[in-house]
Structure 1
Protein backbone atom coordinates (compact mmCIF):
# COMPACT_ATOMS: atom_id res chain seq x y z
CA UNK A 1 0.00 0.00 0.00
CA UNK A 2 2.82 2.40 0.85
CA UNK A 3 4.57 1.67 -2.44
CA UNK A 4 1.37 2.55 -4.30
CA UNK A 5 0.98 5.76 -2.30
CA UNK A 6 4.52 6.68 -3.38
CA UNK A 7 3.82 5.80 -7.02
CA UNK A 8 0.57 7.79 -6.98
CA UNK A 9 2.36 10.84 -5.55
CA UNK A 10 4.98 10.47 -8.30
CA UNK A 11 2.18 10.38 -10.88
CA UNK A 12 0.65 13.55 -9.43
CA UNK A 13 4.05 15.25 -9.64
CA UNK A 14 4.93 13.77 -13.05
CA UNK A 15 8.02 12.28 -11.42
CA UNK A 16 8.73 9.62 -14.02
CA UNK A 17 12.11 8.69 -12.52
CA UNK A 18 10.35 8.01 -9.21
CA UNK A 19 7.80 5.81 -10.96
CA UNK A 20 10.56 3.99 -12.85
CA UNK A 21 12.25 3.07 -9.56
CA UNK A 22 9.28 0.75 -8.88
CA UNK A 23 8.97 -0.71 -12.40
CA UNK A 24 9.77 -4.36 -13.17
CA UNK A 25 13.19 -4.58 -14.83
CA UNK A 26 12.24 -7.18 -17.45
CA UNK A 27 8.51 -6.62 -17.99
CA UNK A 28 8.52 -2.83 -17.99
CA UNK A 29 5.28 -0.93 -17.43
CA UNK A 30 1.97 -1.23 -19.27
CA UNK A 31 -0.62 1.53 -19.26
CA UNK A 32 -4.04 0.09 -20.04
CA UNK A 33 -6.81 2.52 -20.97
CA UNK A 34 -9.48 0.02 -19.92
CA UNK A 35 -9.71 -2.77 -17.34
CA UNK A 36 -9.70 -5.67 -19.79
CA UNK A 37 -5.95 -6.32 -19.94
CA UNK A 38 -4.79 -8.54 -22.74
CA UNK A 39 -7.79 -7.97 -25.00
CA UNK A 40 -7.69 -6.41 -28.43
CA UNK A 41 -9.45 -3.25 -27.24
CA UNK A 42 -7.63 -2.57 -23.96
CA UNK A 43 -5.23 -0.19 -25.73
CA UNK A 44 -2.11 -1.11 -23.86
CA UNK A 45 0.94 1.10 -24.18
CA UNK A 46 4.14 -0.52 -22.91
CA UNK A 47 7.40 1.10 -21.86
CA UNK A 48 10.68 -0.32 -20.57
CA UNK A 49 11.90 0.76 -17.16
CA UNK A 50 14.43 3.10 -18.82
CA UNK A 51 11.76 4.58 -21.09
CA UNK A 52 9.51 5.25 -18.07
CA UNK A 53 12.32 7.19 -16.40
CA UNK A 54 12.48 9.47 -19.45
CA UNK A 55 8.77 9.96 -20.16
CA UNK A 56 8.81 13.47 -18.67
CA UNK A 57 10.91 14.67 -21.59
CA UNK A 58 9.08 12.56 -24.16
CA UNK A 59 7.21 14.88 -26.53
CA UNK A 60 5.88 12.09 -28.74
CA UNK A 61 2.17 11.42 -28.77
CA UNK A 62 0.89 7.91 -28.13
CA UNK A 63 -2.59 6.52 -28.69
CA UNK A 64 -3.67 5.57 -25.17
CA UNK A 65 -7.16 4.42 -26.15
CA UNK A 66 -10.37 5.46 -27.83
CA UNK A 67 -13.85 6.44 -26.75
CA UNK A 68 -17.36 5.37 -27.62
CA UNK A 69 -17.25 7.62 -30.68
CA UNK A 70 -14.01 5.88 -31.78
CA UNK A 71 -12.08 9.11 -31.21
CA UNK A 72 -8.45 8.28 -30.43
CA UNK A 73 -6.95 9.71 -27.26
CA UNK A 74 -3.53 10.73 -28.51
CA UNK A 75 -1.34 12.54 -25.99
CA UNK A 76 2.18 12.89 -24.68
CA UNK A 77 2.77 10.94 -21.45
CA UNK A 78 2.50 14.07 -19.27
CA UNK A 79 -0.70 15.19 -20.99
CA UNK A 80 -2.20 11.70 -20.65
CA UNK A 81 -1.57 11.68 -16.91
CA UNK A 82 -3.01 15.16 -16.47
CA UNK A 83 -6.01 14.57 -18.75
CA UNK A 84 -7.04 10.96 -18.03
CA UNK A 85 -5.39 9.59 -14.92
CA UNK A 86 -5.72 12.52 -12.55
CA UNK A 87 -8.90 13.95 -14.05
CA UNK A 88 -12.24 12.40 -14.87
CA UNK A 89 -13.19 11.43 -18.38
CA UNK A 90 -16.53 13.22 -18.20
CA UNK A 91 -15.98 16.18 -15.88
CA UNK A 92 -12.30 16.97 -16.42
CA UNK A 93 -12.05 17.84 -12.73
CA UNK A 94 -9.26 16.49 -10.57
CA UNK A 95 -10.53 13.25 -9.09
CA UNK A 96 -10.60 12.34 -5.43
CA UNK A 97 -9.34 8.77 -5.26
CA UNK A 98 -10.77 8.39 -1.76
CA UNK A 99 -11.44 4.64 -1.75
CA UNK A 100 -8.41 2.35 -1.73
CA UNK A 101 -8.70 -1.44 -1.81
CA UNK A 102 -6.20 -4.26 -1.97
CA UNK A 103 -6.39 -6.94 -4.67
CA UNK A 104 -10.05 -6.34 -5.48
CA UNK A 105 -11.98 -3.65 -7.29
CA UNK A 106 -13.77 -1.13 -5.11
CA UNK A 107 -16.53 -1.02 -7.72
CA UNK A 108 -17.46 -3.67 -10.26
CA UNK A 109 -18.73 -2.32 -13.54
CA UNK A 110 -21.21 -4.15 -15.68
CA UNK A 111 -19.34 -3.15 -18.81
CA UNK A 112 -15.67 -3.94 -19.36
CA UNK A 113 -14.50 -6.79 -17.16
CA UNK A 114 -11.41 -6.44 -14.94
CA UNK A 115 -9.04 -9.14 -16.22
CA UNK A 116 -5.96 -8.43 -14.11
CA UNK A 117 -6.02 -11.80 -12.33
CA UNK A 118 -6.70 -13.69 -15.56
CA UNK A 119 -3.91 -11.93 -17.43
CA UNK A 120 -1.46 -11.86 -14.50
CA UNK A 121 -2.40 -14.74 -12.17
CA UNK A 122 0.60 -14.15 -9.86
CA UNK A 123 -0.01 -10.41 -9.58
CA UNK A 124 -1.58 -8.31 -6.86
CA UNK A 125 -3.05 -4.85 -7.32
CA UNK A 126 -4.05 -1.79 -5.37
CA UNK A 127 -7.24 -0.08 -6.54
CA UNK A 128 -7.58 3.70 -6.23
CA UNK A 129 -11.24 4.51 -6.77
CA UNK A 130 -12.87 7.91 -7.31
CA UNK A 131 -16.64 7.53 -6.82
CA UNK A 132 -19.23 9.37 -8.87
CA UNK A 133 -20.43 12.64 -7.33
CA UNK A 134 -23.15 12.13 -4.74
CA UNK A 135 -26.57 13.63 -5.19
CA UNK A 136 -26.54 13.87 -8.97
CA UNK A 137 -28.29 10.88 -10.53
CA UNK A 138 -27.29 12.07 -14.01
CA UNK A 139 -23.60 11.54 -13.14
CA UNK A 140 -23.79 8.00 -11.78
CA UNK A 141 -21.27 6.97 -14.43
CA UNK A 142 -18.64 9.59 -13.55
CA UNK A 143 -16.49 7.21 -11.49
CA UNK A 144 -12.95 6.11 -12.29
CA UNK A 145 -10.43 3.64 -10.89
CA UNK A 146 -6.69 3.30 -11.24
CA UNK A 147 -5.26 -0.12 -10.53
CA UNK A 148 -1.57 -0.46 -9.79
CA UNK A 149 -0.50 -4.01 -10.66
CA UNK A 150 2.58 -5.67 -9.13
CA UNK A 151 4.49 -8.92 -9.53
CA UNK A 152 6.99 -10.29 -7.05
CA UNK A 153 10.64 -10.99 -7.84
CA UNK A 154 12.84 -12.36 -5.05
CA UNK A 155 10.67 -10.93 -2.28
CA UNK A 156 10.23 -7.48 -3.84
CA UNK A 157 7.06 -6.27 -5.56
CA UNK A 158 7.51 -4.46 -8.88
CA UNK A 159 5.01 -2.36 -10.80
CA UNK A 160 4.04 -3.95 -14.13
CA UNK A 161 0.83 -2.11 -15.08
CA UNK A 162 -1.34 0.90 -14.38
CA UNK A 163 -4.87 0.05 -15.41
CA UNK A 164 -7.59 2.66 -15.79
CA UNK A 165 -11.21 1.62 -15.34
CA UNK A 166 -14.25 3.76 -16.12
CA UNK A 167 -17.94 3.31 -16.74
CA UNK A 168 -18.55 1.47 -19.96
CA UNK A 169 -22.02 0.19 -20.83
Structure 2
Protein backbone atom coordinates (compact mmCIF):
# COMPACT_ATOMS: atom_id res chain seq x y z
CA UNK A 1 0.00 0.00 0.00
CA UNK A 2 2.86 2.34 0.87
CA UNK A 3 4.53 1.73 -2.51
CA UNK A 4 1.22 2.39 -4.26
CA UNK A 5 0.78 5.76 -2.54
CA UNK A 6 4.34 6.81 -3.45
CA UNK A 7 3.78 5.85 -7.10
CA UNK A 8 0.51 7.75 -7.16
CA UNK A 9 2.21 10.84 -5.71
CA UNK A 10 4.97 10.71 -8.35
CA UNK A 11 2.45 10.40 -11.18
CA UNK A 12 0.42 13.30 -9.79
CA UNK A 13 3.47 15.57 -9.52
CA UNK A 14 4.61 14.66 -13.04
CA UNK A 15 1.16 15.44 -14.46
CA UNK A 16 1.06 18.80 -12.71
CA UNK A 17 4.50 19.78 -13.96
CA UNK A 18 3.68 18.73 -17.51
CA UNK A 19 0.41 20.68 -17.41
CA UNK A 20 2.23 23.73 -16.11
CA UNK A 21 4.79 23.51 -18.94
CA UNK A 22 2.05 23.15 -21.55
CA UNK A 23 0.15 26.13 -20.15
CA UNK A 24 3.24 28.34 -20.02
CA UNK A 25 3.39 30.85 -22.83
CA UNK A 26 6.06 33.57 -22.93
CA UNK A 27 4.55 37.02 -23.07
CA UNK A 28 4.89 39.16 -26.18
CA UNK A 29 6.84 41.66 -24.11
CA UNK A 30 9.38 39.04 -23.03
CA UNK A 31 9.90 37.88 -26.63
CA UNK A 32 10.27 41.46 -27.85
CA UNK A 33 12.77 42.22 -25.10
CA UNK A 34 14.84 39.16 -26.01
CA UNK A 35 14.95 40.14 -29.70
CA UNK A 36 15.84 43.73 -28.85
CA UNK A 37 18.70 42.59 -26.63
CA UNK A 38 20.07 40.42 -29.45
CA UNK A 39 19.82 43.24 -32.00
CA UNK A 40 21.38 45.71 -29.58
CA UNK A 41 24.29 43.33 -28.97
CA UNK A 42 24.92 42.98 -32.71
CA UNK A 43 24.71 46.73 -33.29
CA UNK A 44 27.07 47.42 -30.41
CA UNK A 45 29.88 45.47 -32.06
CA UNK A 46 32.44 47.71 -33.81
CA UNK A 47 32.41 47.47 -37.60
CA UNK A 48 36.02 46.28 -37.58
CA UNK A 49 35.05 43.30 -35.40
CA UNK A 50 32.09 42.36 -37.61
CA UNK A 51 34.10 42.50 -40.82
CA UNK A 52 37.05 40.60 -39.39
CA UNK A 53 34.66 37.81 -38.41
CA UNK A 54 33.10 37.83 -41.88
CA UNK A 55 36.56 37.77 -43.43
CA UNK A 56 37.42 34.62 -41.48
CA UNK A 57 34.10 33.00 -42.37
CA UNK A 58 34.67 33.68 -46.07
CA UNK A 59 38.19 32.23 -46.00
CA UNK A 60 36.96 29.08 -44.29
CA UNK A 61 34.04 28.75 -46.71
CA UNK A 62 36.38 28.94 -49.71
CA UNK A 63 38.91 26.55 -48.16
CA UNK A 64 36.21 24.00 -47.32
CA UNK A 65 34.56 24.45 -50.75
CA UNK A 66 31.36 25.50 -48.97
CA UNK A 67 29.91 27.82 -51.59
CA UNK A 68 26.53 27.92 -49.89
CA UNK A 69 28.15 29.53 -46.85
CA UNK A 70 30.05 31.88 -49.17
CA UNK A 71 26.87 32.82 -51.05
CA UNK A 72 25.15 33.81 -47.80
CA UNK A 73 27.49 36.80 -47.60
CA UNK A 74 26.83 38.09 -51.15
CA UNK A 75 25.04 41.42 -51.41
CA UNK A 76 21.34 40.64 -52.11
CA UNK A 77 20.91 43.54 -54.55
CA UNK A 78 24.34 44.44 -55.94
CA UNK A 79 25.64 40.89 -56.27
CA UNK A 80 29.37 40.24 -56.44
CA UNK A 81 32.28 41.11 -58.76
CA UNK A 82 35.51 39.13 -59.15
CA UNK A 83 38.70 40.95 -60.14
CA UNK A 84 41.72 38.86 -61.11
CA UNK A 85 44.13 41.67 -60.27
CA UNK A 86 44.26 44.87 -58.21
CA UNK A 87 42.79 46.87 -61.08
CA UNK A 88 39.02 46.51 -61.13
CA UNK A 89 37.74 46.50 -64.70
CA UNK A 90 33.99 46.99 -64.78
CA UNK A 91 33.82 45.93 -68.43
CA UNK A 92 35.78 42.68 -68.12
CA UNK A 93 35.57 41.50 -64.51
CA UNK A 94 33.02 38.76 -63.95
CA UNK A 95 29.90 39.79 -62.05
CA UNK A 96 27.14 37.59 -60.61
CA UNK A 97 23.90 38.31 -58.88
CA UNK A 98 23.50 36.26 -55.72
CA UNK A 99 20.93 33.99 -57.36
CA UNK A 100 23.11 33.41 -60.44
CA UNK A 101 26.10 32.55 -58.28
CA UNK A 102 24.03 30.01 -56.37
CA UNK A 103 22.66 28.65 -59.63
CA UNK A 104 25.98 28.15 -61.39
CA UNK A 105 28.52 27.26 -58.73
CA UNK A 106 27.57 23.55 -58.68
CA UNK A 107 27.64 23.32 -62.48
CA UNK A 108 30.40 22.84 -65.05
CA UNK A 109 29.51 26.05 -66.86
CA UNK A 110 32.65 27.86 -68.01
CA UNK A 111 32.91 31.64 -67.60
CA UNK A 112 35.40 34.23 -68.80
CA UNK A 113 37.00 35.95 -65.80
CA UNK A 114 39.43 38.35 -67.46
CA UNK A 115 42.81 38.42 -69.17
CA UNK A 116 46.07 36.99 -67.86
CA UNK A 117 48.79 39.50 -67.16
CA UNK A 118 51.74 39.28 -69.51
CA UNK A 119 50.14 37.15 -72.22
CA UNK A 120 46.72 38.78 -72.47
CA UNK A 121 45.23 35.30 -72.79
CA UNK A 122 41.57 35.08 -71.82
CA UNK A 123 41.14 33.19 -68.55
CA UNK A 124 38.20 30.79 -68.59
CA UNK A 125 37.09 28.40 -65.88
CA UNK A 126 34.12 27.11 -63.92
CA UNK A 127 33.34 28.90 -60.67
CA UNK A 128 34.78 25.99 -58.72
CA UNK A 129 38.05 25.99 -60.64
CA UNK A 130 38.36 29.77 -60.51
CA UNK A 131 38.14 29.65 -56.74
CA UNK A 132 40.53 26.71 -56.45
CA UNK A 133 43.15 27.80 -58.98
CA UNK A 134 42.95 31.57 -58.78
CA UNK A 135 41.14 33.02 -55.76
CA UNK A 136 42.68 30.51 -53.36
CA UNK A 137 45.91 29.66 -55.16
CA UNK A 138 47.48 30.15 -51.73
CA UNK A 139 46.00 29.14 -48.39
CA UNK A 140 44.88 32.55 -47.15
CA UNK A 141 43.73 31.13 -43.82
CA UNK A 142 47.44 31.50 -42.99
CA UNK A 143 47.97 35.12 -43.94
CA UNK A 144 48.41 38.60 -42.48
CA UNK A 145 45.12 40.41 -41.97
CA UNK A 146 44.43 44.12 -42.36
CA UNK A 147 41.34 46.32 -42.37
CA UNK A 148 40.96 49.18 -44.86
CA UNK A 149 44.70 49.20 -45.55
CA UNK A 150 46.89 47.64 -48.22
CA UNK A 151 49.82 45.38 -47.39
CA UNK A 152 50.59 44.01 -50.83
CA UNK A 153 51.45 46.31 -53.68
CA UNK A 154 53.29 46.06 -56.95
CA UNK A 155 53.28 47.73 -60.33
CA UNK A 156 49.60 47.00 -61.00
CA UNK A 157 47.21 49.95 -60.64
CA UNK A 158 45.09 49.55 -57.53
CA UNK A 159 41.77 51.37 -58.02
CA UNK A 160 39.75 49.74 -55.24
CA UNK A 161 39.14 52.98 -53.37
CA UNK A 162 38.12 54.70 -56.60
CA UNK A 163 35.63 52.03 -57.65
CA UNK A 164 34.32 51.45 -54.10
CA UNK A 165 34.73 54.89 -52.43
CA UNK A 166 32.16 54.30 -49.68
CA UNK A 167 33.00 50.67 -48.99
CA UNK A 168 35.15 48.89 -46.44
CA UNK A 169 37.59 46.15 -47.29
CA UNK A 170 39.75 43.51 -45.69
CA UNK A 171 43.04 42.19 -47.01
CA UNK A 172 44.70 38.82 -46.51
CA UNK A 173 48.38 39.03 -47.41
CA UNK A 174 51.01 36.34 -47.91
CA UNK A 175 54.54 37.79 -48.18
CA UNK A 176 56.89 36.74 -50.94
CA UNK A 177 59.85 34.42 -50.48
CA UNK A 178 63.56 35.19 -50.62
CA UNK A 179 63.87 32.63 -53.40
CA UNK A 180 61.89 34.90 -55.72
CA UNK A 181 63.10 38.21 -54.28
CA UNK A 182 59.76 38.52 -52.47
CA UNK A 183 57.98 39.09 -55.77
CA UNK A 184 55.77 36.02 -55.32
CA UNK A 185 53.54 37.71 -52.71
CA UNK A 186 49.77 37.28 -52.92
CA UNK A 187 46.80 39.23 -51.57
CA UNK A 188 43.11 38.46 -51.37
CA UNK A 189 40.73 41.34 -50.66
CA UNK A 190 37.06 41.33 -49.74
CA UNK A 191 34.99 44.48 -50.25
CA UNK A 192 31.89 45.04 -48.11
CA UNK A 193 28.92 47.39 -48.19
CA UNK A 194 26.18 47.95 -45.66
CA UNK A 195 22.60 47.06 -46.56
CA UNK A 196 19.67 47.35 -44.15
CA UNK A 197 21.93 47.35 -41.13
CA UNK A 198 24.09 44.40 -42.16
CA UNK A 199 27.29 44.03 -44.16
CA UNK A 200 27.52 42.08 -47.40
CA UNK A 201 30.25 41.14 -49.85
CA UNK A 202 30.30 43.05 -53.14
CA UNK A 203 33.75 42.19 -54.51
CA UNK A 204 36.57 39.65 -54.36
CA UNK A 205 39.88 41.06 -55.55
CA UNK A 206 43.12 39.16 -56.02
CA UNK A 207 46.43 40.96 -56.22
CA UNK A 208 49.98 39.86 -57.02
CA UNK A 209 53.10 41.06 -58.79
CA UNK A 210 52.45 41.79 -62.47
CA UNK A 211 54.82 42.47 -65.34
The residue aligned with 2:54 is 3
More helix by percentage: 2
Query: SS of 1:146's equivalent?
Result: strand
The residue aligned with 1:91 is none
Structure 1 contact 16–52 (Cα < 8 Å) conserved: no
RMSD of the TM alignment (CA)? Answer: 1.8
The residue aligned with 2:96 is 47
Q: Larger C-alpha radius of gyration, 1 or 2? A: 2
The residue aligned with 2:129 is 79
Structure 1 residue 38, shift from structure 2 partner:
3.7
Deviations 1:62-121 (A, max 9, x none): 122222112222111111111112215xxxxx5664111101111222x11221111111
The residue aligned with 2:64 is 13
Tell me, in whole angstroms, the C-alpha distance in 2 between the residues paired with 1:96 and 1:140: 20
TM-score using structure 1 length: 0.86
Which of 82, 90, 94 is 1:31 aligned to? Answer: 82
More strand by percentage: 1
Query: SS of 1:57's equivalent?
Result: coil
Structure 2 contact 176–184 (Cα < 8 Å) conserved: yes
Cα distance, 1:97–1:167 mapped onto 2, change above 3 Å: farther
The answer for unaligned runs of 5 or more in structure 1 is: 89-93
Structure 1 residue 36, shift from structure 2 partner:
1.2
Larger relative contact order (C-alpha < 8 A, sep ≥ 6)?
A: 1
Tell me, in whole angstroms, the C-alpha distance in 1 between the residues paired with 2:58 and 2:208: 20
Structure 1 contact 15–56 (Cα < 8 Å) conserved: no
Structure 1 contact 123–151 (Cα < 8 Å) conserved: yes
